[in-house]
Amino acid sequence: MNKYMIYLNSKRCIGCHGCEVHCKTNKDLPVGPFLCEISHEPLKAVKGVPKTEYHFRSCYHCEDPYCVPVCPTGAMKKREDGIVYIDTDSCIGCMACAGACPWHIPQFNPNTGKAVKCDYCMDRVDVGLKPACVTKCTTRALKFVTIQEI
Amino acid sequence: MRKTVWSMCSMCSVRCPIKVEVEDGKVKWIEGNPHILKGALCAKGSAGIALQRDHERPQQPLIRAGGRGAGKWEPVSWYTALDYVAEKMNKIKEKYGAKAVMLSCRGGPWQDLWKSFIHAFGSPNFTNHDSGCGRNVHHASKSVYGLGRKGFIYDIKNAKHLISFGRNLMASLRIAEVNQIMDMLDAGGSFTYVDVRQTLTGIKATRFFQVRPGTDYALALGMINEVIKQEAYDKEFIEKYTTGFDKMAEFVEQYTAEWAAKECGIKVKKLKDFVSEIGQQRPKVIFHPGWMLSRYRDSFYASRMLHILNVLMGSVEVEGGQQFPKTPADCGVKGLRTFSSMVPKPEDKRADGVGWKYKHFDKGPGLFHLFYDAMLTEEPYPIKGVICYRHDPFNCFPDVTAQKEAFDKCDLLVSIDTHYSEFGWYSDVILPESMYLERETPVCTQKGPKPRFAFRDRAVEPRFDTKPSWEIFKMLADRLGIGEYFPWTTAEEMWEFQLEPTGYKIDDLREKGFVALTDTPIMYDRDNLDGKFKTPSGKIEFVSQMLEENGLPSFKPYESPQKPPKGRFRLIFGRSPVHAHGHTINNPLLNELMPENTLWINSRVAARMGVKEGDWVDVIADSQKGTIRAHVTDFIHPEAVYTVHGFGRQVPLQSRAYHAGMSDQKLQEGLLEMMDPAGGGLCLCEKFVTVRRSPRNPRRRVEL
Ligand code: SF4
Ligand code: SF4
Ligand code: SF4
Ligand code: SF4
């Protein structure tokens, strides 16, 4: 069962794209790959005010991921707590995972020649911290939610 | 080894407090100081890491080898560079006097140091960028309260209503302020936004007035008229603390809500509803008086009216309103020792005329654009040397060609900056400053409900042969024989010099990047504010003695802004949250987010011109032209086109930013001399440009 999720409170989000850069600098990514993305709906007038909804997308950490079984080296893995991550030591950068993922989530890291994707910042989470994007979100619009087992 | 260093961001001029984590001499992580910002940081703040690693910045002192702007440089040692600058400065001093050298910066909490340097050299000509930014707001505030634009802080979090006239708060992005607005909205507060286009800020508003460009003053006048008509103002407060109310009421009588609605192109009912709403919510109502209001011919008067609306709301020293920023003295702590306390004040008149020709302007930094005249005419005396620290006049002021003509009369142009500025590229000497993670800065006082002392510590050693500015100025001062005014050789000694009267030690600040001087917010007694307003009368002045004495009206009759002729548009510019003016455009990670600017154009107008989203358009001024892609949208007034400022850079060594996008200031031809005579600000939105679909759009030549 997936234990975590990231939730965006669109009302608080200001579309500053901070989260995208917080993520990139935390993972030391060069120009090219983005592991999360802020997008918005076209503006629509609500009671005379043109408004929009913001969306945050990283990896969905699928219950039954498409990316894991296609990985030829077993580098793409799913943890007990649901986090889908890449074991970089075994990744050969073939990008089969990106092809299999319906949203093309895994990205190619030109610096390492390997795939990289959102892993909910598990190194931070495992020591009791929040993911980079959540910790540094400009307006505290992003929340890292731990789903309670019933 | 991992260590934590407390510092302050410098990617924009907000200077958010940050916590930097360093491992083996490398910056690994930057977050907003958790004690103040709870970790929050913007995209630029995180991209500081990319700036530190970027090699497309000056790596050692450079002396110009070819013609100005030709891009031929001789890399030299610090000793050679500083000896060179000192020798040139001394030569100018011998021939024309020390006053012929001016120094400009970008303001901020450390300007005392740069100002002391040029004063110690013997020149009164210290200035900054502000006539292309906030001078109108500053002088408007002085005319009403006798206090500058930093004379109040805004308790937005506890407000019931925030009103912004085109201040794009979410894109200008002061993290603490933005969070206050979000908290206010979460608590059910109202937010009214006025602009010629919809912005990141406007989409958070609860009410939006899309006005015709240049009519802010009309709307403010109509609001005051209606506030008085509905008796929605704080009579007691007005009675007690203000003068000139009747004259003001008489003046606004002609500017009814009906008139304003028509002039601005909005609905009168919406305006009246707005006024009855704020009448209920006062005094917890904040009219943001604007920041960068070097825009229209009447921006100064518009800002005055916004200040006056705050007074009418009684929004002074109340929770959820404007508050006086408290000082160390309010906490019973002695202030920092200033650098200027050591230095005798130069006696010469300023070359920009501020203080003697223009008595109503603040003498502190004067007005940079007026120095161009002194360079060209040598009146009141010649200006032959210009030092720009962190300031890029070519990016900040309009009409770069006209500026160059004036600078060509100078014998010495020096740029001190962390990156190649456009001015730096044209200058004679570039003295590269270490970027903010590689340098320390003096201690500064941050006034507010809970004042603090804060500072920036060095997180990592400079990657290149660069130096912090305190050291550059100190080394230059030694060579000019004025070293005794800066009695320290290390940062530690400088901090000690500043902190000595306060009783604090730098290690106290090193614990979390600052020391708070009180635990609980301080408020003055609102019933006893006498002495707090620094106008000649000691009251809040609707009729300003300062203006009237200088032959300027307190209230300027409204003049409707000119409509652009057919095919032409008013060129409006603004901010994006991922860039800070021109100096972040080349940052690898920010450039990736926004590599170029676009031209916003109204969809109906665009349809008539055959311009579609993403088409190349030529934007033409008198002799200058820019070509960028169109962004076609319903949400901009048909009279205006809009672009993000800072693009179209021309420094070849900045490969990502080089000629990417379009520069608005190059198109602002003729605006260098268009100053608001009352406010001192330039009128940068007073340029009409022609827009046409560019021949550069690709055409398919082969169909089959
Ligand atoms: S950092 Fe926060 S506020 Fe900014 S875009 Fe991301 S989620 Fe929105
Ligand atoms: S990469 Fe794609 S398939 Fe794999 S877990 Fe993420 S969203 Fe699912
Ligand atoms: S959780 Fe971590 S890896 Fe995933 S998007 Fe946020 S910062 Fe990036
Ligand atoms: S707003 Fe962003 S860029 Fe500006 S100082 Fe704060 S973190 Fe730095």
Secondary structure string (H, E, C) spanning B645-662: CCCCECCCCCCCCECCCC
d(CA A48, nearest CA chain B) in Å: 7
* Chain A residue closest in CA terms to B174: A138
Closest-CA residue, ligand 1 atom 4, reads A16
d(CA B82, nearest CA chain A) in Å: 36
The pTM of the whole model exceeds 0.90:
yes
Query: CB A25 to CB B46 under 8 A?
Result: yes
Instruction: Supply the pLDDT for residue A48.
Output: 87
Ligand 4, atom nearest to B14 Cα = 5
Look at residues B427, B482, B436, B431 and name the one whose alpha carbon lies nearest to residue B460: B436
Domains of chain B by range and CATH?
2-53 (2.20.25.90), 62-133+333-516 (3.40.50.740), 152-323+535-549 (3.40.228.10), 568-693 (2.40.40.20)
The residues facing B481 across adjacent strands are none
- Strand B101-105 to strand B385-389: parallel, antiparallel, or no bridges (unpaired)? parallel
Query: How far apart are the C-alpha atoms of B274 and B290, rounded to whole Å?
Result: 19
Ligand 3 site, residue A131, Cβ cutoff 6 A = yes
Closest-CA residue, ligand 2 atom 1, reads A105
- Mutation choice for ligand 2 from A63, A66, A78, A91, CB with most ligand atoms inside 8 A: A66
Ligand 1, atom nearest to A136 Cα = 1
Instruction: Supply the pLDDT for residue B426.
Output: 98
Instruction: List CB contacts (< 8 A) between B38 and chain A.
Output: 140
* Chain B residue closest in CA terms to A131: B39
* Chain B residue closest in CA terms to A50: B203
d(CA B50, nearest CA chain A) in Å: 8
Give Cα separations from B688 to A35, A77, A123, B646, B691 (angstroms): 42, 59, 55, 19, 10
d(CA B600, nearest CA chain A) in Å: 14
Q: Tens digit of pLDDT for each residue in A39-76?
A: 999 999 888 899 999 999 999 999 999 999 999 999 99
Instruction: List CB contacts (< 8 A) between B591 and chain A.
Output: 31
Helix (H) or strand (E) holding B372: helix B371-377
Instruction: Name the percent of chain A in helix, strand, coil, to the closest 5.
Output: 20, 25, 60
Closest-CA residue, ligand 3 atom 5, reads A36
Which candidate from A17, A22, A43 shows the least CB-CB separation from B593? A17
Helix (H) or strand (E) holding B112: helix B111-121
Structure tokens at B514: 């600052």
Encoded amino acid at B376, one letter: L
- B520 Cα–ligand 2 center, Å: 49
Which candidate from A14, A30, A135 shows the least CB-CB separation from B31? A135
Query: How far apart are the C-alpha atoms of A122 and A142, rounded to whole Å?
Result: 17
Instruction: Supply the pLDDT for residue B135.
Output: 94
Instruction: List CB contacts (< 8 A) between B32 and chain A.
Output: 136
Q: In this structure, are residues A96 and A72 in contact, taking their beta carbons and an 8 Å threshold?
A: yes
Query: How far apart are the C-alpha atoms of B628 and B648, rounded to whole Å?
Result: 10
- Strand B412-417 to strand B441-446: parallel, antiparallel, or no bridges (unpaired)? unpaired
Which candidate from A22, A24, A141 shows the least CB-CB separation from B41? A22
Query: CB B43 to CB A43 under 8 A?
Result: no
d(CA B227, nearest CA chain A) in Å: 23
Instruction: Supply the pLDDT for residue B43.
Output: 98
Q: What is the mean pLDDT of each run of 10 residues along chain B (704 residues)?
A: 95 97 97 98 98 97 97 98 98 98 95 97 96 94 96 97 97 97 98 97 97 98 98 97 98 98 98 98 96 94 97 98 97 96 95 96 94 97 98 95 97 97 98 98 96 98 98 98 96 97 97 96 95 97 97 97 95 97 96 98 97 97 96 97 97 97 96 94 96 89 72
- Mutation choice for ligand 3 from A27, A35, A129, CB with most ligand atoms inside 8 A: A35
Cβ-proximal residues to B515 (8 Å cutoff; 6+ apart), any chain: B452, B453, B504, B508, B509
Cβ-proximal residues to B114 (8 Å cutoff; 6+ apart), any chain: B103, B105, B126, B389, B469, B473
Question: Phi then psi for B385, rounded to 5 degrees?
Answer: -135, 135
Q: In this structure, are residues B214 and B685 in contact, taking their beta carbons and an 8 Å threshold?
A: yes
Q: How confident is the prediction for chain A on average, in pLDDT?
A: 96
* Chain B residue closest in CA terms to A17: B43
Give Cα separations from A7 to A10, A41, A85, B320 (angstroms): 9, 17, 19, 30
Q: Using DSSP, state whether B162 is helix, strand or coil.
A: strand
Structure tokens at B488: 């320290």
* Smallest-distance ligand from the CA of A18: 1
Name the band, by pLDDT with cuts 50, 70 and 90, for residue A149.
low
| Residues at CB less than 6 angstroms from ligand 4 | B 9, 11-12, 14-16, 41-42, 44-45, 173, 175
Instruction: Supply the pLDDT for residue B78.
Output: 98
Fold of A4-146: Alpha-Beta Plaits (3.30.70)
Query: How far apart are the C-alpha atoms of B26 and B461, rounded to whole Å?
Result: 9
Q: Tens digit of pLDDT for each residue in B431-451?
A: 999 999 999 999 999 999 999
Instruction: Name the percent of chain B in helix, strand, coil, to the closest 5.
Output: 35, 20, 45
- Mutation choice for ligand 3 from A79, A121, A138, CB with most ligand atoms inside 8 A: A121
- A14 Cα–ligand 1 center, Å: 6
- B143 Cα–ligand 3 center, Å: 50
* Smallest-distance ligand from the CA of A97: 2
Domain ranges of chain A: 4-146
Query: CB A18 to CB B42 under 8 A?
Result: yes
Look at residues A40, A42, A37 and name the one whose alpha carbon lies nearest to residue A18: A37
d(CA B259, nearest CA chain A) in Å: 21
Closest-CA residue, ligand 2 atom 6, reads A59
Instruction: List CB contacts (< 8 A) between A31 and chain B.
Output: 588-589, 591-592
Structure tokens at A37: 């993305």
Instruction: Supply the pLDDT for residue B46.
Output: 98
Q: Report the residue of B589, B600, B603, B644 to disrupt the A interface, i.e. the one with the largest count of A CBs within 10 Å.
A: B589
Q: What number of residues does chain B have?
A: 704
Complex ipTM value: 0.97
Ligand 3, atom nearest to A58 Cα = 5
Query: CB A21 to CB B590 under 8 A?
Result: yes
Which candidate from B178, B592, B634 shows the least CB-CB separation from A138? B178
